[in-house]
Every structure is written in structure tokens, then in C-alpha cells.
Chains A and B, each alone.
Chain A
């Protein structure tokens, strides 16, 4: 948990997000999740728990999937951040296409986080085993219970990429 911030320290930050440089003027402790949602109008990244337990807020920091609710804006520096909005130009990343083909979502709320975890996995491991998929995706909760389809979609994205 974050300590109580009696006096917030406002600073200007220049952030590299989805290939653009974006400026915000926020308190140093503000998690990237709220910078994205409240200040940059990038609402695809979702709030689910605020304690890095559910994965709804997953974004990429460089090539790694991280929980943006635990990433203070002041720690980002000039590292590149990618959100669901910046994953591909037209929603045509192989993982997004597989998600649509398998028709994964039910309510859909957790799916941006699921997709960001899955894409980071495939970047570092282009052909993961079932167990590797389960390990990489274990931080993402879906109450609707779409896990079987998520796994199927990841495997489809793997085979599409390999056949391409």
C-alpha cells in the first residue's frame, strides 16, 4: 500500500507512450494507471484492485508486462510505455486478431490486461508451452471465466505468427 501523501509534489513529466511524447503535470506518486486514465484519456487500461493482484491495469514498460497501478509516474523516466491503445494501429496485432477470431470476451473488462500480458509473453517467448502460458497469465483474473478461450487465442496467435 502507498503511504498517505499529505503533501503531494506536483511535477511535470514527459512520458513516451505509444510512440508519442506526452506531457503531464501530476504528483510524483501518481500511479501510471491514473495518469493514463485521468490525465491522458487512455482508458483502455483498467482499474481492478490497485494492489497488483488482478492484472486489469497491465501495460508494457519496454518489453515487459507490468501492473500500472504499482508504477509511480516518477519511476518511468524515458522508458517506453505501450498501452492497449498503442498495441497496433488498427487492432490487427496477431493476438488481437486471435482474440476476435476465438471471440474470447464476455463482459470484456479484464481483456485489455489479458491481451497486454499475452503480447508481452509472446515477445519474449514466441512459442510458449501450456505451462508457460499459464504462468505468464496467472496474474490476470477473469471473473466471467474466459480462461479456456484466452489460452486458445494465445495458441492461435502463436501458430499464425509462425506460419506467417
Chain B
């Protein structure tokens, strides 16, 4: 066994067990509505005992485990409690899962983003289960007057063989709640896991398929009003005045006013990005009435001036410039082309790249571009707020509750301890719900109305008030010697307004002469994290280019990558290479085997691999070209994310990343004309649909004892390139511009 100090999350154990005291009796009046036999009613829990911040045990042995992090489809609400339950030593069928509220004292990093929930939660979750088990054992040892080391605890039963004593966790729960939190706990060996590594169904599955209220937008409360916003029609504009003469007299409308999301002197933190700081608000009795009034509200706008603001990223400050002007996509691409020929910031240089290119027998060069993307969560942005004098209750979907709470406290002037945030299931997140300005808006509206309010964005509001994926451009160059060896590699890339460069990622470390440089262009379009930020573009460019280089060297694209990784593993160039070459090679070898790579007769096949968010993914995509359309027959995917907690759910997530990636690669784009988004709803913003999804997806995980790493994002970036490389095999044309099908249509 592994013995660890209970330092992570220890605050939660101490605080909670001190609170626990005796038993905690919950009301069970809801049982009246269920049809149950007398026997079934007898078996129901009568009393619950809080053992620590993560779990409660009932007198009948049932266990309630709180899932600390926001659930947005990544399955943490199932998989995080699985980890606790395994260390606790109970049957999964005896576990009830509840979404924990935001509680920064009890939990650490209640956070959805960067594929980090399981990775960062792993140790704390295991400790929560293991320390509770230790307290149950201590309670039994005291009761039975035997040494605790002689007591075993599994499947919810405590046993002392020598004295032939046993008790259920339920019987010992009351005493366990009063036990001292152990200074050290023993964690299971990986081989002893009984729940981790088994496929368990989504704990909310039944509620989802029967339409139970689970999402923020499903919040309805007594006396609740509905609010919607009206914003300028274009980026680069701000509100000047509103004319509500018609709208305010419409049926069901209570009030129309404007709010400022952030005060002028507020130093915005990293996730405090807001598209329009001043927005008009319509509040009414029902959604349809407010939607109608929204169309009748007239607004007058004026251009914004360029402005420099200081922003604060977890203590590190930087100046952010937002230019004035009405921006257009055509101009964006022209600006990126112009800046690409100018001097850029060198981020990494190994060897003598200039000499390598000068002496090369052959030089390859290719340029890749990608548009802005909108997140398009199926549940539009929304939040419920009930703010009174010095207290605020917020209910809804968000990814960074802890950070948003700080922002809200600063804006409302209400102390954090008087703010309660309840997390609902997220109808998609993908990064968008990290920027919870709509929560602040909802709170300001409720404060003004002195009433509970649900703020709901229309689909058009959601798409045009985006915190978009930036637009990018990258130029790659490769130098080959006379023997077709790769002797020089150069990437020069940038974006509006962020660079996608990761200068220490592969193939850095595998090429003797290497140069990575980047640039950025300012914009007044608002941008932020989008599933696998920056990797979602640069993986495609890099892995498409490597395919082209492999072809030029006459090598198989997988073998070519494996050769480079061999070099990076045994004789790496430079320092700070941020990947493990053998694990990277491992997923390529696995996908080669599982896809039966050598068989390439009937379909066009493309391969790509990438490392991001601490995990490795490699994919082979099989394509046929029918009626001038790509038809993805099959995707084979190999992933190394360490220990897989819930294999079938992990497979589902990987499948989703693949489908989502193919959709964004083929169709995804939000473009602008004079600051106005060309796409405002799903009639013009093309999302992938069932017909375009792969006919089959086959996911394999590398068997591993390494602690689990990210999974929500790693399957997403490489699929863009696997698709591009397969399309080349099918059509003979390289895809350089995303979305790929737009380029094809333009070419005719």
C-alpha cells in the first residue's frame, strides 16, 4: 500500500468532521410520492452521518458521495465519486452521487477546464475515501477493543476475523463521524482497485433520458422573472442610448434598463472577458414576451475608442490593448499574411536553422490558416440570480465557480461568504462557460429588480456575444539533405489576438536545427479558451505538414514520426522538450496495430498524433470520397492518459472529441463584416450532423499505471490533421485552410 500524508484537502476533512458531531437527520417527506413496499421502506436510510466534505454514510450502509467539479459532459460526476468509492471500499451500487455546491474550504479546484478535473482531483478524492475508511476502522477498533490493523474493510463491511466480529459501514457510521481524522492514510495499490477501471454508467443517465430538470436553464422559482439582453450589432460599437418607448408597453414587460458588467476601475482577472461591457436588459414575466419585446427595443450605438487595460492573471499583470474600428475577416487574413513576412519573436532556437536551410537539398514550405470559432454549447448561456441586500444566491452552469465568485463579490460589494453558487449540469462548456460574465449580469439584474431573475441568452445572443476561438496562421518549413534526412525545421505562427505556438512540443527535440517564432495582432473581437486551446489549430498545421514532409522523404508517415521520436527519446536536441517521446511513440504504435495500417487498399487513410493536456493521442482516419463529399468510414484512436477511471465513458468522450473535431475542421467558422458576425444561428453556422459523423469509431487506451491525466481535450486536436491527410490521399489536394469544405467550394 501507499501511505500518504493527508495534506491535500485536509482542511475539508477537519472542518467537516468537526461539524459532523452527532448524526445528521435529513427529511424524507418526498418518499410519500414513491410507491414502495413496507419492506423497501424499512431498508431506507433513516439517518446520515457526515464523515468528511466528500461523503456521508447512512445507518443502512448507503453512501452519498459529493462530486466536487462542474459536470459538462466529461463524466466527472460519475468518475470522480468512483475514485472515492474505490478507496472507501464500498459497492458502487450502494453509492448515491450528488453535485457538491461551491465550497472553497471543503474542496480544492472546483474547476472545469484544461482536462484537469481527474488529474488534479485524483489524490484528494482517493484520500477522501481512504481517510473515511480509516475512521470507520478506528470506530470498529474502539468498539470491539481490537487493534485497527487487524480489521479489514471491503464492500461496506468491517471484519475482525480473529474475534469473529463484523459490522456494516452503516452501523459504524455514527461513531466514525466522531473519530479523529488520521494524520496519514493508506491508499490502495493499483492492482487492488475494484471500481476504478470498470465501466460505470452516467449517474444522471436516467434523468437525462426522461427529461428531468438538470440544467441551469431548467431553473424556475416562485416569483422568478425572465431577463434577456440586447447588445450592439457589431464588435467595435458600444451603446449610446436606448429607445424603449415601444418595448416597455408590450405585454408582460416589467422593466428595461442598461447595466455595466464591470466598473471602469475594476482590474479584470483572466476569465473576466466580456464582449460588450454595457448591455441593455429587458425583464418580463415569460421568455416569449421578453423575446418579443427584444425585437421592439431600439438601440443607438457609437464606435469604441482604442483602450489599454491592465489585467490580472493569478497575480501576474499584463496590459491588454483593444483597438477601435469595425473588423472584417478578409482584412484579418490580409493582416496575418502581411505580418507573417515581418520579424517575429523567437521563442526557441536549436543548432543553426538558417545554415540548415541554406545548405538544404530540398526545402518544403506550407502555410495553414483557421477562422474564429464559436463554442455553440447546445444550452445557451444563462443563469439564475436572487440577490438581496447583502446576500446572493446563484444557480446555473459554469466552469470556474471559484473565480467567478471572486469577480461577483468585487462587483456587487457582497462578501464571498454571503454568496452561494449552486452548480447545475452544463449543457456543454468547451471553455465558453469559464467566462461567466452572464452570471454577473444576472446578479446585477436581480439586484436592480429586487427579485429572483433568470437571465437567458437567445441563440443569436450566444453566438454573437462570443468569447471565440482565435483566428490563426502558421507557416512551416522543412530542410531535407540529399539523403532526405530532416535537418532543419522552422515554424512561424501567430493569431488574432493570441499565438498558438508551443515551441517545446514535438518535433522540437527531434531535429538538430530548429526555430520557433511567433507574432500576434490586436483585435476588438473577444476570444478565450475553446476545447484544447491553441492545440486545436497548431496540431492540425504541424501534423499536416509532417505528413507532407514524410511524403517528400519517401517514408511512411507513421514510420517517419517514429524515427523522429526515437531521436527525441535517446538523443534529444535542446532542453525543455515537454513530451515523453516513448509515450508519444506508444500511441502511434498502438494505432498502427489497431488500424491495420498496412492495409490501405480500399480507403484513403490519414494519420496524426498529438500531445496536449498531459495526454497522448494518435488517430487513423479512413475516408472515401463520394459525390464530391468526404465520407469518414472509420476512425481508429489510441490514447495514453494514464489509468482510465471509467473506460466506456472515456471512450465516449474520445469519440465525441473526434466527431466534434471533424465537424469544426470541415465546417466550423464565424466570420465578420464590419464587426458584424456573418453567422448568428445554426441556419448559417454549420455544425456537424449525424450523416457526416464517422460510420465507426474504435478507441483504444494504452494500459498504464501512471496517475490519470486529461481526456476531455486530447482526442480533439489531432483529428483535424488525420482528416486533412486522408483528404489528400483521396483527392490529391492538401487542405491548408479551415474550414476545409469552404476551401473546396471556393476552388469549385
Residues of A within 8 Å of B288, CB to CB, are 26-27, 29-31, 34, 38
Of the residues B252, B659, B683, contact of A51 by C-beta under 8 Å: B683
Contact string, A34-50, partner B, CB cutoff 8 A, digits 1/0? 10011101111111111
Q: Please state if B660 and A50 are interface contacts (CB–CB under 8 Å).
A: no
Q: Please state if B205 and A6 are interface contacts (CB–CB under 8 Å).
A: no
Of the residues A53, A103, A112, contact of B211 by C-beta under 8 Å: A112
Q: Please state if B378 and A38 are interface contacts (CB–CB under 8 Å).
A: no
Could you tell me the distance in whole angstroms from the C-beta of B503 to the nearest C-beta in chain A? 30
Q: Please state if B74 and A134 are interface contacts (CB–CB under 8 Å).
A: no
B494 within 8 A of A: no
From B40-48, B212-220, B599-607, the one touching the partner chain is B212-220
Range class of the B interface residue count: 35 or more
Q: Please state if A144 and B205 are interface contacts (CB–CB under 8 Å).
A: no
Residues of A within 8 Å of B427, CB to CB, are 46, 107-110
Q: Please state if B681 and A49 are interface contacts (CB–CB under 8 Å).
A: yes
**CA of A135 to CA of B692 in the docked complex: distance in angstroms?**
11
A8-B250, A140-B690, A145-B659 known; A106 vs B75 contact (CB < 8 Å): yes
Residues of A within 8 Å of B658, CB to CB, are 145
**CA of A111 to CA of B691 in the docked complex: distance in angstroms?**
17
From B264-272, B317-325, B443-451, B645-653, the one touching the partner chain is B645-653
Q: Please state if B289 and A100 are interface contacts (CB–CB under 8 Å).
A: no
Q: Please state if A44 and B210 are interface contacts (CB–CB under 8 Å).
A: yes
A164 within 8 A of B: no
**CA of A45 to CA of B206 in the docked complex: distance in angstroms?**
15
Of the residues B202, B226, B430, B456, contact of A105 by C-beta under 8 Å: B202
**CA of A107 to CA of B657 in the docked complex: distance in angstroms?**
13
Of the residues A39, A84, A103, A139, contact of B648 by C-beta under 8 Å: A103
Could you tell me the distance in whole angstroms from the C-beta of B704 to the nearest C-beta in chain A? 23
A residues 124-164 touching B (CB-CB < 8 Å): 130, 133-135, 137-151
Of the residues A106, A135, A148, contact of B697 by C-beta under 8 Å: A148
Could you tell me the distance in whole angstroms from the C-beta of A36 to the nearest C-beta in chain B? 10
Could you tell me the distance in whole angstroms from the C-beta of B101 to the nearest C-beta in chain A? 20
Of the residues A43, A49, A104, A115, contact of B220 by C-beta under 8 Å: A43
Q: Please state if B208 and A145 are interface contacts (CB–CB under 8 Å).
A: no
Could you tell me the distance in whole angstroms from the C-beta of B437 to the nearest C-beta in chain A? 20
B242 within 8 A of A: no
With both beta carbons as reference points, the residue of chain A lying nearest to B226 in the complex is identified as A38
A80 within 8 A of B: no
**CA of A32 to CA of B188 in the docked complex: distance in angstroms?**
54
Q: Please state if A145 and B211 are interface contacts (CB–CB under 8 Å).
A: no
Residues of B within 8 Å of A103, CB to CB, are 201-202, 205, 648-649, 652
Residues of A within 8 Å of B691, CB to CB, are 134-135, 138
Could you tell me the distance in whole angstroms from the C-beta of A24 to the nearest C-beta in chain B? 11
Q: Please state if B648 and A5 are interface contacts (CB–CB under 8 Å).
A: no
Q: Please state if B378 and A142 are interface contacts (CB–CB under 8 Å).
A: yes
Could you tell me the distance in whole angstroms from the C-beta of A113 to the nearest C-beta in chain B? 9
B534 within 8 A of A: no
**CA of A85 to CA of B250 in the docked complex: distance in angstroms?**
33
Could you tell me the distance in whole angstroms from the C-beta of A129 to the nearest C-beta in chain B? 13
A83 within 8 A of B: yes
**CA of A34 to CA of B652 in the docked complex: distance in angstroms?**
32
Q: Please state if B652 and A6 are interface contacts (CB–CB under 8 Å).
A: no
**CA of A105 to CA of B663 in the docked complex: distance in angstroms?**
18
Name 19 interchain pairs, CB-CB below 8 A, sorted by A.
Answer: A8-B292, A29-B288, A34-B287, A43-B217, A50-B459, A51-B682, A51-B683, A84-B210, A107-B426, A111-B209, A135-B691, A138-B689, A140-B689, A143-B376, A145-B659, A146-B652, A148-B655, A148-B693, A149-B652
Interface residues of B (CB under 8 A from A): 72-75, 201-202, 204-206, 208-215, 217-218, 220, 226, 246, 250-252, 286-289, 291-292, 295-296, 376-380, 425-430, 456, 458-459, 648-649, 652-653, 655-660, 663, 681-683, 687-691, 693-697
Which 9 A-B residue pairings sit nearest by Cβ, starting from the closest?
A44-B211, A145-B659, A109-B427, A107-B73, A106-B73, A84-B211, A53-B682, A145-B656, A147-B693
